[in-house]
Structure 1
């Protein structure tokens, strides 16, 4: 996954600086060492060599860490604080018990606001907030590169050659599998027995990257919604896909109906933005495509 990264980190003599994807430049007298992060961002930073002090969820998350979104966080015993916008005094106290925080890392989909946390909570911690884009305005390689820049600014060595090679191998496997047969793929998130959200592939950087590699996605068609078309299962079945990538997060429900003969494969729309995490997902997609050739 190679791409030109956006404007990012810089350090001066005895100082630390980083410009996030809202265009906000943060400076400090020393490099931050204690990071509290949104689960997705924290899992990516962990892959890149930065272990968060603690992580929090989004409005979709509950009081327990979603294992699908967690990456290596549970194995690394990183504490989970609960949904970000519900955090209050007890979370502040917990973070202070853990030694405090000097940086909060969230994601942004609109380039303006942090996704999972009220910025006022970071202010209560006395820590600046960095928000990195995971929306469609950046390519998948660009998103991964930005997280690599932040990890580097926080003192990590960055993505190793082995991780980069794994990503390249996984992409090559997808390209080869996609080229061996016309497998039509539909990505969706179940909302219940009567409703389903169908992904617009161009709006999801990992799906857009898969399409660049030759994966044939089914277009949900016109209608409201920039990222999803919300409809019923009968409509989804009528689109006639061969492979269904279903949202495997805890807040989503399993597919209620799929086209006859279609296969299922899990998709985490919040895969940690690291080369190694996307390599695992792309390997799974390649295998699912091969099974249908």
Structure 2
């Protein structure tokens, strides 16, 4: 876990200014100067862009193809940030096409390793690799705050602030008024669907704290998802379905009778702006029968 004292510029024993940051693997990282040219995993890069740090390029995960998934992209495409393809396929030469890089930013789900990039590539590039947690060992507010701390260490002003509180208040009120039962899922084709276990996802756990009534998928294997068929999902009789809208997920094959549908990005950028938009969209879906 991080130590906040390691997230700002420090001074070495010779009096020179250096950049220092402790990531969520517990790895203390340093550089002779504050990094300005960041290569990032798409989710991390979209968050940093929201927070005032523009990456020089981004890469995808093993679920991504050679084109940037617009659902995961946030404002990256509009900002002209190049996408280099899946992280595990990147080479030193491919990264060099984006120019010089002095920091890599990834995410971690297990607190031990970077999710989307071969850590050896960062070593070959000769630059620090920051991996910030997006798993359920941290609450959503702490995850967002950590990205704010990193952005602040990279020179972004006011990076950790945002209007999420107002959006949360509106969502809490809507959840209380409607009382809809909500099921979050990811389509795997006509025969199979993955049902999210709400406490395994920080944003869903936060929604539950705000009063959203999630449907429990029930017992079975899988820490994050219960793998089942569409008939089982329909039988849970949700009033609202949050469906995984990423390019690697299949669209809902069957809609439970009377249920509303609204998209959910399980890789929402961990920034106040991105979660404000998600909470606002969910509030509208809870309140508007036409959604």
Q: TM-score range by the shorter chain?
A: over 0.9
Question: Which position in structure 2 is the counterpart of 1:183?
Answer: 180
Q: Is the Cα contact below 8 Å between 1:159 and 1:275 reproduced in 2?
A: no
Counterpart residue number, 2:14? none
Structure 1 length normalisation: TM-score? 0.94
| Number of residues of Structure 1 aligned to a counterpart in Structure 2 | 283
2:117 alignment partner, SS class: coil
Partner of 2:278: 281
SS of corresponding position for 2:62: coil
Q: Deviations over 1:67-101 (max 9, x none)?
A: 0000000001001000001112xxx2243243311
The 1-side partners of 2:176 and 2:21 are apart by: 41
Is the alpha carbon distance of 1:204 and 1:160 closer, same or farther for their aligned partners in structure 2, counting shifts above 3 Å? closer
What secondary structure is seen at the aligned counterpart in 2 of 1:137? coil
Q: Secondary structure at the match of 1:107?
A: strand
Equivalence for 2:253: 256
The alignment status of 1:135 with 2:105, answered yes or no, reads: no
Q: 1:151–1:158: 8 Å Cα contact kept in structure 2?
A: no
Match of 1:215 in 2: 212
Q: 1:77 aligns with which of 47, 72, 80?
A: 80
Per-residue deviation, residues 38-77 of structure 1 (Å, max 9, x unmatched)? 0000000000000001000000000000000000000010
Q: Deviations over 1:147-206 (max 9, x none)?
A: 000000111113375xx22x1121111101001022000000000000000000000011
1:201 maps onto 2:171 in alignment: no
* Structure 1 stretches of at least 4 aligned residues deviating more than 4 Å after TM superposition: none
What secondary structure is seen at the aligned counterpart in 2 of 1:286? helix
Secondary structure of the 1:77 match is coil
Gaps of 5+ in 2: 12-16
Deviation, 1:12, is: 1.4
- Aligned partner of 2:95 in structure 1 is 95
Give me the TM-score of the superposition, normalised by structure 2. Answer: 0.94
